Chain A
Amino acid sequence: MSIDTETARRVAKLARIKVEDDALPALAQEFGAILGFIEQLNEVDVDGVEPMTSVTPQRLKRREDVVTDGDQQAAVLKNAPDAREGFFAVPKVVE
């Protein structure tokens, strides 16, 4: 499977990882090698097989729909690179 540099650029964009233009050909080649390895899966007959959703058969437990936690603003913001006046601060989003 060959991946072109345009596809590599698009994937990097979707993943929100900055990749410089001169690094794209090598990245495309790596993707190609990994996807080639994955292509082996096409040999398997999967007709009528349901995709696995849960490795141990279980029904998710339910609990009362009540508040169990909260009032932890300081703890939540403690590790933020930029927190101001009780909020996470980010660059301007709306022009």
Chain B
Amino acid sequence: MSELSKLTIAAARDAMRKGDLTSAELTGACLAEADASGALNAFVHHTPDLAMEQAKAADARAGADAPSLNGIPLGIKDLFCTKGVPSQAASRILEGFKPEYESTVTTQLFDAGAVMLGKLNMDEFAMGSSNETSVYGNAVNPWKIDADLTPGGSSGGSAAAVAADLCLAATGTDTGGSIRQPAAFTGITGIKPTYGRVSRWGIVAFASSLDQAGPMTKDVRDSAIMLQAMCGHDPKDSTSADISVPDFEAALTGDIKGKTIGIPKEYRMDGMPEEIEKLWSDGTAMLKDAGAKIVDITLPHTKYALPAYYVIAPAEASSNLARYDGVRFGHRAKLEQGDGITEMYEKTRAEGFGAEVQRRVMVGTYVLSAGFYDAYYNRARKVRALIKRDFETVFADGVDAILTPATPSAAFELGANFDPIQMYLNDVFTVTVNLAGLPGIAIPAGLDAKGLPLGLQLIGKPWEEAELLNVAYSLERAAGFVAKPAKWW
């Protein structure tokens, strides 16, 4: 049974099309794995009845012309609103919330035939890099040395579930690196598409100008298949782009001859572990061997990406999270005699939000407050424009994609107790991509000396996910990463 959950989307799809496998068998196998995975704390709400119902419906429509994800069991990040199923963004303030509607992404996945196994752990409101800010407690990385390791964040439950073969793939969201950092920490693939590619409607908002959803999968082909189903224009998201979506899987030829790959010097940081440095130069050599032209590039404002992000993201979060007021949905604090509406707001939000969320809401409130708006918020938006211009310049010079490390380290121990700024540094290689609205993909490329996975990131041109996936596919084939965590859970 358990072997079935290890399948890729492509392999399961092909087996089901041939009639060698049913979704009911596959879904049953995944549900059993998910049930027995309590130690990973990846699934936080199980939906076995819905899953088996969807699997049976998929089997009824199976055949050569079944939709692209017909019968494929997925895990869904808790940030996505799923009708009648708890969707609480790993926050106490949304305890008991069961949406009366379905997010556009999950609607599209279900329309493509996908099966939902349940909801996956994450950092509260997607704010965190270790999954430790979750109201459910942290998810655990299936890769283990001595101590328990973080699966990364914020999409930590998604990463753990895919790496541990509890599901075939999962949804993630990425505001500063929340798909790519956990993918790198767990040895899986994850892509954040161009801003506007995937509808944000029905995804609990963190920082609206940065948030994008994307797939977290076992390989690049699966990312192409699943991303295809998630993309497309949605009138319900005003920033969703009304442009055609190419066939991503068909773009995977592996041929990157003549492509130009940029290596940005600003990503070579002081104190970067030698193993990451080596991984990066090995990856560069692999792309060169595959026929790509390698050029050194400069992205001069890279250093200012994290500080700009930590103005813009909290500012947008403070505005987005104003809706959690104890009136319309979720938690409301118990009130004392004589408490008015202001006490209701203040107590509800103090009880409902965890420490990191409170910190970011208050920092956001501060940088937007009278007298500081220009000094902080407007300055950060100007720096953001410069960061985007850096990328536009190198793309205009003929660069097709950019290769960088995905993270500054391998997965770290849970409970490491970093201060907030140390934790923020996890996103140093990924956050520029959100600020510039570009597509970025993390793929596993090697192991460190302790045997933990390390990832490389490729950054593409806006709307060129097909080309980006193809470069990633070429790199994936050259890297030949096949390591799996030993099962202990």
The judgment on whether A and B are partners is yes
Q: Using CB atoms and an 8 Å cutoff, list the residues of chain A in contact with chain B.
A: 7-8, 11-12, 14-19, 27, 30-31, 33-35, 37-44, 46, 49-56, 58, 60-61, 63, 72, 75-76, 78-82, 88, 90-93
CB pair B383 A46 closer than 8 Å = yes
The closest CB in chain B to the CB of A40 belongs to B307
Q: Which residues of A lie under 8 Å from residue B332 when comparing CB positions?
A: 81-82
* CB of B33 to closest CB in A, whole Å: 31
B residues 307-360 in Cβ contact with A at 8 Å: 307-308, 310-311, 318, 322, 325-332, 335, 339-347, 349-350, 353, 358-359
CB pair A41 B307 closer than 8 Å = yes
In-complex Cβ contact of B327 among A18, A37, A78, A90 (8 A): A90
Given contacts A31-B366, A34-B421, A75-B100, contact A91 B241 (CB under 8 A): no
Given contacts A49-B386, A63-B235, contact A27 B362 (CB under 8 A): yes
| Residue B45, interface by CB 8 Å | no
Q: Is the interface of B mostly helix, strand, loop or mixed?
A: helix
CB pair A11 B462 closer than 8 Å = no
Q: How far is the CA of A72 from the CA of B426 in the complex (A)?
A: 43
Q: How far is the CA of A42 from the CA of B419 in the complex (A)?
A: 23
Q: How far is the CA of A51 from the CA of B361 in the complex (A)?
A: 22
CB pair A41 B195 closer than 8 Å = no
Q: How far is the CA of A46 from the CA of B380 in the complex (A)?
A: 10
CB pair B382 A46 closer than 8 Å = yes
Given contacts A40-B304, A46-B379, A46-B383, contact A17 B361 (CB under 8 A): yes
CB pair A16 B366 closer than 8 Å = no
Q: How far is the CA of A30 from the CA of B362 in the complex (A)?
A: 11
Given contacts A55-B436, A63-B235, A91-B341, contact A79 B330 (CB under 8 A): yes
Given contacts A33-B419, A56-B241, A56-B437, contact A90 B341 (CB under 8 A): yes
| Residue B178, interface by CB 8 Å | no
The closest CB in chain A to the CB of B365 belongs to A15
CB pair B307 A38 closer than 8 Å = yes
CB pair A41 B383 closer than 8 Å = yes
CB pair A93 B241 closer than 8 Å = no
In-complex Cβ contact of A17 among B241, B304, B349, B436 (8 A): B349
In-complex Cβ contact of B385 among A30, A38, A42, A50 (8 A): A50
In-complex Cβ contact of B382 among A8, A51, A75 (8 A): A51
